[in-house]
Amino acid sequence: MRNVRNFTELPSNLPELVDTAEFTGGRKLNVGIDIDGVLAPYHKPYEVLFGDHVCPERKRPIRDFMHGISETAIAAVLGKDRAEMFRNKDAFLNSEESLGILPITGSVEAVGRIATVHNTWLITSRVPGVRLGTERWLEAHFQTENIKGLIMLGSEEKGAYASKQKAFKELQLDVHIDDMPKHLNEARVAGVTGRILFGRYPWNRKNIAPGSHRASNWERALERVNRIAELTYTDPRNSLVLQPGSVAPRRLAEVQPASFEHLDLAA
């Protein structure tokens, strides 16, 4: 079920990407993209699973207000601990029903453009146990042939709080797009210069990771990727300045990181 793109309405106002190969001797940016909250609506599995649950205090279904609260708050309303709620969510993500979840507006076209121009990995805190469901959802909604791989770093204990820092460092990313300030702080420590905080959620509305840039939607995210590309190769204040006609330094080893379970989606 590959490349079925009719599930999502594609916006026509997304900017074209700067092709860095035009002025870097062929070098592309290395880009990491999160999944939940960036490509997939973060709350949708919970809405499908628990949306009809009536909150005794508010006397209305949880679907009416869950988009304004965190996972911890959802678990409290449901009377579940977070680990149990994560297990319910993971079972849903591996089900056929999860294929009906629509990607976040603009993400299908945006990821297609990024992966066509740059080296692109999807780096998620989902647990490896939902790899099959995640692959099927990506193949149903996105063009995956240009995506270099899917890296899944989650665990039942840590959930979305599993660290991505080692992946950032081994892939030598230039850009990472994530909705969690924690992961952008990890990206900063790993040396990722282009850090994009995606969306406005309860967990990132007031907390923007130092040095990162907010992108409230995919139009803004693509604009920022373009700006990062321009700064990386043309700004005299940047350490990777290239003179006209010069060849970009090969900062990245174009090899698969051996320490991660890695899936080539194009295979």
Domain residue spans of the chain: 20-41+102-263, 44-100
What is the pLDDT, as a whole number, of residue 35? 95
CA atoms within 13 A on the CB side of 60: 5
Q: Are 197 and 215 in contact (CB under 8 A)?
A: yes
Fold entry, domain 20-41+102-263: Rossmann fold (3.40.50)
Q: Are 138 and 108 in contact (CB under 8 A)?
A: no
CA 64, chain centre distance (Å): 26
What is the pLDDT, as a whole number, of residue 159? 52
What residues contact 145, with CB distance under 8 A and at least 6 apart?
Answer: 3, 265, 266
What is the pLDDT, as a whole number, of residue 17? 59
Q: What is the pTM of this model?
A: 0.77
What is the pLDDT, as a whole number, of residue 6? 30
**Cα–Cα nearest to 176, from 163, 185, 187, 165:** 187
CA distance 28 to 25: 9
Burial (Cβ within 10 Å: 0-12, 13-18, ≥19) of residue 16: exposed
Q: Would you mind telling me the total number of residues written for the chain in this entry? A: 267
What is the pLDDT, as a whole number, of residue 18? 57
**H or E segment and range at residue 151:** strand 149-152
**Strand, coil or helix: what is 230?**
helix
**Cα–Cα nearest to 106, from 213, 9, 5:** 9
Q: Are 188 and 174 in contact (CB under 8 A)?
A: no
Q: Which residue has the tokens 């709620």?
A: 85
What is the pLDDT, as a whole number, of residue 230? 73
What is the pLDDT, as a whole number, of residue 156? 59
Q: What string of DSSP letters covers 26-82?
A: T---EEEE-SBTTTB-TTHHHHHHHTTPEETTTTEEGGGTGGGS-HHHHHHHHT--H
Q: Which residue has the tokens 């080296």?
A: 119
What is the pLDDT, as a whole number, of residue 77? 83
CA distance 208 to 87: 29
Per-residue pLDDT of the chain (267 residues; tens, 9 = 90+): 333 333 233 334 555 655 555 544 445 889 999 999 999 998 888 888 888 888 877 788 888 877 777 778 888 888 888 888 888 889 999 999 999 999 999 999 999 989 988 899 999 988 888 999 999 999 999 988 889 999 988 765 555 556 888 889 989 999 999 999 999 999 999 999 899 999 988 888 887 788 899 999 999 999 888 888 776 654 434 333 323 233 333 232 222 333 333 433 333
What is the pLDDT, as a whole number, of residue 239? 35
Q: Are 36 and 92 in contact (CB under 8 A)?
A: no
